[in-house]
């Protein structure tokens, strides 16, 4: 879970420190369907894959009815790697769109933690309005989502498109003011 936290932290930081912003869900969709532009996060993705291999091995050992070939464990690990890499790109596109909307709404640089909170919440549950009552990030759910989607070969494009559409519809000014109130309440 710490590896996924670091990976998401670096992915969002890379977007927030960059100059370019995604200004619409359509633009983000075009970016996601295009070639991957950055290999900067390859080490972090490899770390998550390295942590996924023992999980796949345990699952293989638990299957006592029949033996699971090690090739299957290796291919599952590769699939998890692709799922993590795709998930990171989707989080980055979502973060860029949210950061752009926050900057346009508030006229100030976007809050890094708010962008992460909104991006992870929208990515996991695109149909729900993000709950900003707490500042807890759902990294366990994100880890589970990436591991399971990679292990079972599920595509995430439909979910990411829904999350991007939800990011365009969210009342970003209200979210920013609610986040500020939460931060002030936590400082007391």
d(CA 27, CA 36): 15
- What pTM value is reported for the model? 0.76
d(CA 186, CA 19): 31
d(CA 181, CA 54): 42
Per-residue model confidence as pLDDT tens digits over 34-82: 755 444 455 566 566 666 666 666 655 555 545 556 566 666 777 777 7
Per-residue model confidence as pLDDT tens digits over 109-137: 888 899 999 999 999 999 988 888 877 78
pLDDT for 38:
46
Q: Is 9 helix (H, G, I), strand (E, B) or coil?
A: helix
């Amino acid at each position: 879970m710490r590896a996924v936290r670091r990976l998401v932290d670096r992915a969002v930081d890379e977007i927030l420190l960059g100059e370019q912003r995604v200004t619409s869900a359509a633009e983000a969709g075009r970016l996601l369907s295009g070639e991957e532009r950055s290999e900067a996060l390859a080490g972090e993705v490899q770390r998550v894959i390295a942590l996924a291999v023992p999980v796949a091995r345990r699952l293989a050992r638990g299957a006592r009815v029949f033996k699971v070939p090690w090739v299957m464990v290796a291919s599952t690990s590769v699939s998890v790697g692709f799922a993590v890499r795709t998930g990171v790109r989707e989080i980055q596109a979502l973060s860029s769109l949210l950061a752009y909307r926050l900057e346009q709404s508030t006229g100030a640089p976007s809050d890094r933690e708010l962008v992460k909170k909104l991006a992870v919440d929208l990515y996991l549950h695109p149909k729900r309005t993000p709950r900003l009552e707490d500042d807890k990030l759902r990294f366990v759910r994100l880890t589970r989502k990436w591991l399971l989607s990679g292990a079972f070969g599920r595509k995430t494009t439909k979910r990411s498109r829904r999350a991007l559409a939800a990011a365009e519809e969210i009342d970003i000014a209200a979210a920013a003011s609610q986040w500020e109130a939460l931060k002030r309440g936590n400082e007391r």
